[in-house]
Structure 1
Amino acid sequence: MKSVTFRQLRIFVEVARDLSFVRAAQTLHLTPPAVTMQVKDLEASVGMQLFHREGRTVSLSTPGEYFLVYAKRLLGTLKEAEDAMARFKRVEAGRLSIGLVSTAKYFVPRLLARFRDQHPGVELRLNVSANREQLVTLMANNEVDLAIMGRPPKDLSTRSEPFAAHPLVFVGLPDHPLLKRGPAPLSALDHEALLVREAGSGTRSAMEDVFREHRFEPCSRIEISSNETIKQAVMAGMGVSFLSLHTIGLELRSGLMAVLPIEGTPVMRTWNVVRPSSKVLSPAAEAFRYFILEEGERHLMAHDRELLGT
């Protein structure tokens, strides 16, 4: 049970309160899939089923009833600790170095601006890496305090905490024929040129996972090493691409690009705040970690609903 997080305990207690994943999601300002994912991860860590699910009916299992007692006790202790350490929410000075994969640069600055409003004395340094492999190197060399990325590295011991859903979509020109067809299988892209990120990119890895799952191979690929260049290529009519929804807000709002209705999309991944396991966080870094875990999901949910029209 070493991997159990207090965030998972909060979500578990909230679901147990009303025996409803939907109401828990509303109360916590999360999506129902995010709540379901966290509960499944908790059950995997505990090694037992905590809820019985029959259709829309949810009930606590016997282990779940016992676990609820300890979860509430742990959360109560955490609240006492948070009160004692409340000074971290009023950090007046310090240096904070944040590392990002390039895809995260489209939303993290907005969160940092809100963080600076609360902590104006903190000196910020933003280090945007071309891809996740470069960011892993920065973490290994202790050059950043915290990293914002998708998949945590496997070859470096880290502590990783998910804070928001990360949707990825297929995009093309706003007059693409698929937009007139409605939901289409992935095979509808058979004859499209696919504009892809370079090897080592988290977006590229997620795309290849989708292709393997569906046993799909595009007729041609054009490798491009930046999201900005890919977007320009899509708008120039060179082909279609698979991109993070968080990178294309301006283009969608301006009508320069459209999300293609491919079945099974958006493909949902997660954003994580990551640090080496051995790293002791400064008060400024701890304050930002707390901030993004509390605010990141709410900020990105509003962004995603606007772009997807939901």
Structure 2
Amino acid sequence: MLNATFRQLRVFCEVAKILSFARAAEALHLSPPAVTMQVKELESQLGLPLFERQGRQVSLTTAGEYFLVYARRLLATLKEADDAMARFKGAESGLLSVGLVSTAKYFVPHLLARFHDEHPGVEVKLSVCQNREQLVALLQSGDVDLAVMGRPPKELATRAEPFAAHPQVFVAAPTHPLSALDHVPLEALANQRFIAREAGSGTRKVMDVFLREHQLAPRITMEMPSNETIKQAVIAGMGVSFLSLHTLGLELRTGVLKLLDVEQTPVMRTWNLVRMQSKLLSPAAEAFRYFMLEHAEPYLLKNDKIALNHDPLP
């Protein structure tokens, strides 16, 4: 065990997270044989198998599950040491690891690109999660420095800083009957077919609370974990949906979706920048935190105004 390398630990943790040697190789920019070799060398050092392999199916052994806890702890300690050393070099270098819920992927990469223009020496790692549970797990494991999300996790000791308003709206296809109305009363939603995000997502939570507060029981005909798939279903005329305004810029500008002027909407929530209280941010992560708190709100407000006051493109 004393001869195990941090590279072997990184490879092992990636395979354990994805449970696929081939996909772990892609994520690590290595060849599949190189990943297999690193895991075999680690297993040889330990004298125990870490994975069970049945064809393409991969699962952790009991020893592998136990070792994963210590491997992650070692890598987290190494990351803390690297961050501490980076403080002596300033914010112009180092690794910045940012996680975000899928709804935030429509604007965070643009802000990251602007941040990288100011700090070209910073290496950026972006993790897009399908739902908040995945993102909370990345925060807890220390795999991300900062998380962009709506509802901060109550189950973890985190620090959340709101950085921008997050409007959420009802949309339909231009041919939908509700799209012909200048003003949509709440009761008009009662008999509509809804295409909704999956239970547990932040968007679904906000929609459920809003409709319940107004004593409306929506007829949910489809549930999907993807904003893009939902938008295509709405465009096809399969129903109405409730989505983040920040996911709709292109569709509203091109006129393939219509924003419904429903009473008491947009429903306003906030975007938060979240980190573990116990985590000491690296200079790169601290610089990005300040950048987001200063620049994210003006950027989003500008795009919100374009979306809400748009003229569809010809």
What is the TM-score normalised by the length of structure 1?
0.70
Match of 2:285? Answer: 285
How far did residue 177 of structure 1 move? 2.2
Match of 1:230? Answer: 230
Tell me if the contact between 1:164 and 1:296 (Cα under 8 Å) persists in the aligned partners. yes
Match of 2:296? Answer: 296
Question: 1-side partners of 2:160 and 2:96: how far apart?
Answer: 18
Unaligned segments of structure 2, at least 5 residues: 1-86
The aligned runs of 1:269-284 (5 Å cut-off) are 269-284=269-284
3-state SS in 1 of match to 2:95: strand
Question: 1-side partners of 2:290 and 2:220: how far apart?
Answer: 44
3-state SS in 2 of match to 1:199: coil
3-state SS in 2 of match to 1:169: strand
Please identify, of 216-225 and 271-280, the stretch whose mean Cα deviation from structure 2 is larger.
Answer: 216-225
Match of 1:115? Answer: 115
The aligned runs of 1:1-310 (5 Å cut-off) are 91-309=91-309
Question: 2-side partners of 1:185 and 1:138: how far apart?
Answer: 41
How far did residue 247 of structure 1 move? 0.4
Question: 1-side partners of 2:226 and 2:209: how far apart?
Answer: 20
Question: 2-side partners of 1:113 and 1:131: how far apart?
Answer: 23
How far did residue 146 of structure 1 move? 0.1
Question: 2-side partners of 1:138 and 1:186: how far apart?
Answer: 38
Tell me if the contact between 1:90 and 1:118 (Cα under 8 Å) persists in the aligned partners. no
Tell me if the contact between 1:100 and 1:135 (Cα under 8 Å) persists in the aligned partners. yes
Structure 1, residues 115-164: CA drift from partner, whole Å, max 9, x if none?
00100000000000001111011101111000000010111110000000
Question: 2-side partners of 1:107 and 1:127: how far apart?
Answer: 14
How far did residue 200 of structure 1 move? 1.5
Structure 1, residues 217-238: CA drift from partner, whole Å, max 9, x if none?
1133311111011011111111
Tell me if the contact between 1:89 and 1:287 (Cα under 8 Å) persists in the aligned partners. no
Structure 1, residues 205-257: CA drift from partner, whole Å, max 9, x if none?
11011011111111333111110110111111111100000001111111110
Please identify, of 280-289 and 170-179, the stretch whose mean Cα deviation from structure 2 is larger.
Answer: 170-179
Question: 1-side partners of 2:193 and 2:178: how far apart?
Answer: 14
Larger gyration radius, structure 1 or structure 2: 2
Tell me if the contact between 1:88 and 1:283 (Cα under 8 Å) persists in the aligned partners. no
3-state SS in 2 of match to 1:237: coil
% identical aligned pairs: 63
Give me the CA root mean square deviation: 1.7
3-state SS in 2 of match to 1:272: strand
Question: 1-side partners of 2:287 and 2:152: how far apart?
Answer: 21
Structure 1, residues 73-93: CA drift from partner, whole Å, max 9, x if none?
xxxxxxxxxxxxxx9997221
Q: Which amino acid counterpart does residue 261 of structure 1 have in structure 2?
A: D
Q: Which amino acid counterpart does residue 147 of structure 2 have in structure 1?
A: A
Q: Which amino acid counterpart does residue 219 of structure 2 have in structure 1?
A: C
Question: 2-side partners of 1:225 and 1:116: how far apart?
Answer: 30
Tell me if the contact between 1:161 and 1:274 (Cα under 8 Å) persists in the aligned partners. yes
Question: 1-side partners of 2:198 and 2:187: how far apart?
Answer: 22
3-state SS in 1 of match to 2:264: coil
Tell me if the contact between 1:164 and 1:270 (Cα under 8 Å) persists in the aligned partners. yes
Tell me if the contact between 1:88 and 1:284 (Cα under 8 Å) persists in the aligned partners. no
Tell me if the contact between 2:172 and 2:178 (Cα under 8 Å) persists in the aligned partners. no
Question: 1-side partners of 2:308 and 2:210: how far apart?
Answer: 20
3-state SS in 2 of match to 1:164: strand
3-state SS in 1 of match to 2:208: helix
3-state SS in 1 of match to 2:281: coil
Please identify, of 149-158 and 218-227, the stretch whose mean Cα deviation from structure 2 is larger.
Answer: 218-227
Change (3 A) 1:89 1:188: farther
Question: 2-side partners of 1:248 and 1:150: how far apart?
Answer: 17
Q: Which amino acid counterpart does residue 161 of structure 2 have in structure 1?
A: E
Tell me if the contact between 1:90 and 1:119 (Cα under 8 Å) persists in the aligned partners. no
How far did residue 185 of structure 1 move? 2.0
